[in-house]
Amino acid sequence: MIVKSKAPFRLGLAGGGTDVSPYSDKYGGAVFNATVNLYAYATIIPKNDGKITLNAKNNKIETLKAEEQLEITGHLDLQKGIYNRIVKDYTKKPLSFELITEMDVPSGSGLGTSSTLVVSILGAFLTWLDIPLTTHEIARLAYQIEREDLQMAGGKQDQYAASFGGINLIEFQGQNVTVNPVNIPQNRIKSLEKSILLYYTKTSRKSAKIIEIQADNVIRKLEKPIQAMHFLKKQAYQLEAALKGGDLHEIGAILDKGWEHKKQMAIGISNPTIDEIYSTALMAGAYGGKISGAGGGGFMLFYVDENHRDSVIKALAKFDGNFRDFHFEKNGLTTWIENA
């Protein structure tokens, strides 16, 4: 038996950062995001040799003795943290297996890579062990493993986006998370796909530092960052209304205003290279755009109309990045079993 899973990455379109504690605890947060056909994959091959092999498909391979708890060492900690929680909460005994993981995009690229990978791995374990959890429970457990067990800084939106899939307005109030699917006609979804350019800057970043600064700004009650987060939260609802109402021409302006406010949340969200890429895209005809994720690098997205799509692509050719084709993905975490 071989167990496989995949979970989709997400584009953060509006409200990003308001899902991060303590802002979401004190004020309530809201994000608008959409999953795309780029995935994190996990494969579990059960063994009976008393060993665990973790293979991250990027030359990171580690073989360990199957024990009830694996030491968190800074190497493949996501995989180890998931295993530790599965044994602690469910099996109560060691497991022997090979876990193979890979992703369609680089780690730290702003599409929720680490959280999506956690959801994918978790889904494979749950299917292998026949543990029945709801989609909400999977997302919540993924959050607990990453944020509480492993103490990795970040928000809540990525785990829920990867688990549920689709286009969603997700609301956060303390420990409560509400996922509101946004139903949009297929022809409008196709138009939106054609209007968004997804650009990889070929830089990665560790989002934890930016998120820690952002959280500290809330703790210190700094007015400018908090007001920026209030603005971004409102934009999540504005973007939902624009898409539901078919007012696609408003999206560029919403993204542009949001990007200006997002940069006020914390130092490091933008830098001179990102600013130059952004201004170049606007001069070539883009209506707006933003960094997807915490900031500092990774993927950017731009809203364009059909007449300016090629000119924006041509203008950004002078930079080192590249464009990635994508389609929106309506399905979230998917798991299946193959015979060996």
Residues marked as catalytic: 158
Peptide bond into 46 cis (omega under 30): no
Measured distance CA(315)–CA(141) in Å, rounded: 43
Measured distance CA(120)–CA(333) in Å, rounded: 7
Residue of 64, 68, 62 whose CA lies nearest to 49: 64
Q: Alpha helices of 129-250 — where are they, by DSSP H?
A: 135-143, 157-164, 186-195, 207-219, 223-245
Tokens of 243: 């898409």
Name residue, tokens 């702003």.
110
Tokens of 159: 């785990």
Measured distance CA(256)–CA(315) in Å, rounded: 18
Tokens of 80: 């180890």
Q: Angle 281-108-334 (CA atoms, 0-180°, nearest 5)? A: 105
Residue of 130, 137, 127 whose CA lies nearest to 177: 137
Per the CB < 8 A criterion, the answer to whether 139 and 120 are in contact is no
Measured distance CA(299)–CA(311) in Å, rounded: 19
Tokens of 315: 């203008």
Per the CB < 8 A criterion, the answer to whether 263 and 279 are in contact is no
Largest CA distance in the chain: 61
Q: What are phi and psi of 131, to 5 degrees?
A: -100, 115
Angle between helices 157-164 and 113-128 (to 10 degrees): 50
